């Protein structure tokens, strides 16, 4: 399931998570800002397993293979977020109303997805957009 929500910059993203988790199941991946025992327990009641990077002073009880896979997935997510921020300026969408905001946001996501599809069809690495604009 795909979804997004918009919130003011001064709102804690952990509070917005409750609006977004409807219809989700199994695994959620969050960054260190989502470390809150009460949040993890609340999500567990909804059958959602919230995985976050551990703080350095916490023991890691997960199997090494699972931690490696989680780190690879987080790296991919961070790469995509970085591309959306740097190439598509997704953090600065100027709109006067919600409809235009959502429309511009979706167009930027679609442009990113089209770049991935083009790269895959051309046999390139999916996230290497530089090769698409070489002359």
Residue with tokens 């703080």: 55
> In DSSP terms, which residues pair with 48 in a beta bridge?
26
* pTM as predicted: 0.72
Q: Tokens representing 118? A: 């083009």
Please check the confidence at residue 135 and state whether its pLDDT lies above 70: no
Residue 120: CB partners within 8 Å, gap ≥ 6? 126
Query: In terms of Cα–Cα distance, which of 44, 39, 42, 43 is closest to 14?
Result: 39
Residues 69/29, Cβ–Cβ less than 8 Å: no
For the chain, give every domain's residue range. Answer: 1-61, 64-135
pLDDT digits (tens, 9 = 90+) for 86-113: 999 988 888 889 899 989 999 999 999 9
pLDDT digits (tens, 9 = 90+) for 55-85: 666 666 777 787 788 888 888 988 998 999 9
Per-residue confidence at 1, pLDDT binned at 50, 70, 90? Answer: very low
């Amino acid at each position: 399931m795909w979804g997004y929500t918009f919130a003011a910059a001064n709102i804690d993203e952990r509070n917005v998570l409750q609006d977004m988790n409807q219809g989700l199941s199994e695994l959620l991946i969050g960054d260190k800002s989502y470390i809150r025992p009460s949040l993890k327990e609340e999500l567990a009641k909804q059958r959602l397993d919230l995985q976050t990077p551990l703080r350095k002073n916490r023991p890691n009880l997960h199997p090494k293979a699972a931690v490696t896979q989680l780190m690879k997935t987080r790296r991919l997510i961070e790469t995509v977020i970085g591309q959306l921020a740097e190439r598509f300026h997704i953090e600065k969408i100027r709109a006067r109303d919600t409809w235009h905001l959502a429309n511009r946001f979706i167009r930027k996501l679609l442009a990113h997805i089209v770049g991935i599809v083009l790269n895959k069809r051309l046999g390139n690495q999916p996230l290497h957009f530089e090769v698409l604009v070489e002359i």
